[in-house]
Amino acid sequence: MTIKIVTDSTCDLPQTVVDKYGITVIPLYINVGDQSYIDGVELSREVFYKNLPTYPTPPTTSVPGAKVFRNAYRKLIAEGADQILSIHIASSLSATAEVARSAVETLTDVPVTVFDTGQITLGTGLLAIAAAQAAASGKTMEEILSNLKEKASRTYSFAALDTLEYLRRSGRASRFQSTVGSLLSIKPLLSMYDGKMDVDRVRTDTRAIEWLMDHLTNLHPFEELALVHTNALRKVETFRQRAAPFLPSGKEPVIAEVTPIIGTHVGPGAVGFSCIAKGKTNPNDRMREF
């Protein structure tokens, strides 16, 4: 029995990881003006983040049509897949899983299961890796799905943004909020769990990093811990050094630059992490007041 894993480009998995586990990644689209680019293929992260502050209109994002998903599934079937598990960004944030399901409706060659991670960036990526590892070890689809659902209940993502401006540009924050945020050096804080995104804020970079560290402390110990950033290598390296005591024993963390699909909403200068905690807990428990 050969089970293949598919995901989308919001997973933020480095190509080396994708190749290692044989994961198929379906790219979404980033639209700049009247030009549409295939994420990670026709528009690099470097170019996107360099130009993002100067784009005259905010970039938008879109999901490829069902045909693209169907073609990806058929390619895997032709290569010997007996079953396919398609793992995607939270449906509360994107129509990706919905389009994947519509592609499956007319595909009768082999069973294709679509899984909504309820997550974003490497929260999705870590679950895709877990599924690929389970498939490689010979687990059945039922066993993989059971394991995946349980892990998803312990998967969290957090990010400290540099500014409210890009949330405003993408319609996620009002102009008034972004103006006040700029004047007061407000730093937006995002958390993602079980399909729900929460937004908080603090006034300084120092407090933003302490917010991340408090979540690390609260959720520790981890099965997996991965770090993310948006064109903020120096900031994520500083955060990695502080996060070192929380890393799973013997494991180097995946560190990834966030896809433009998400970056257009959060802007450059953001840093954060995704994790699979060893125990299920409320990430807001024991959080100190800011």
Query: How far apart are the C-alpha atoms of 132 and 135, rounded to whole Å?
Result: 5
Question: In the prediction, which pLDDT does 253 show?
Answer: 86
Task: Flag whether pLDDT at 271 surpasses 70.
Answer: yes
| Residue 172: pLDDT band with limits 50, 70, 90 | low
Q: What is the DSSP string of 174-211?
A: -HHHHHHHHHTT-EEEEEEETTEEEEEEESSHHHHHHH
Q: What is the pTM of this model?
A: 0.92
Tokens representing 17? 């990881």
| Residue 1: pLDDT band with limits 50, 70, 90 | confident
User: What residue segments make up the domains of the chain, in order of their start?
Assistant: 3-28+63-152, 155-277
The residue among 165, 155, 166 whose CA lies nearest residue 222 is 155
Question: In the prediction, which pLDDT does 226 show?
Answer: 97
Taking the domain 3-28+63-152, which CATH number applies? 3.40.50.10170
The helix (run of H) or strand (run of E) holding residue 251 is none
pLDDT in tens, 178-193: 454 554 568 999 999 9
Question: In the prediction, which pLDDT does 289 show?
Answer: 39
Question: In the prediction, which pLDDT does 18 show?
Answer: 96
pLDDT in tens, 98-155: 999 999 998 888 999 999 999 999 999 999 999 999 999 999 999 999 999 999 999 9
**CATH classification number, 155-277, choose in 3.40.630.30, 3.40.50.2300, 3.30.1180.10, 3.40.50.20:** 3.30.1180.10
The helix (run of H) or strand (run of E) holding residue 163 is none
Sequence-distant (6+) residues with CB within 8 A of 157 are 119, 120, 121, 122, 123, 190, 191, 192, 193, 228, 272, 273, 274, 275
Task: Flag whether pLDDT at 171 surpasses 60.
Answer: yes
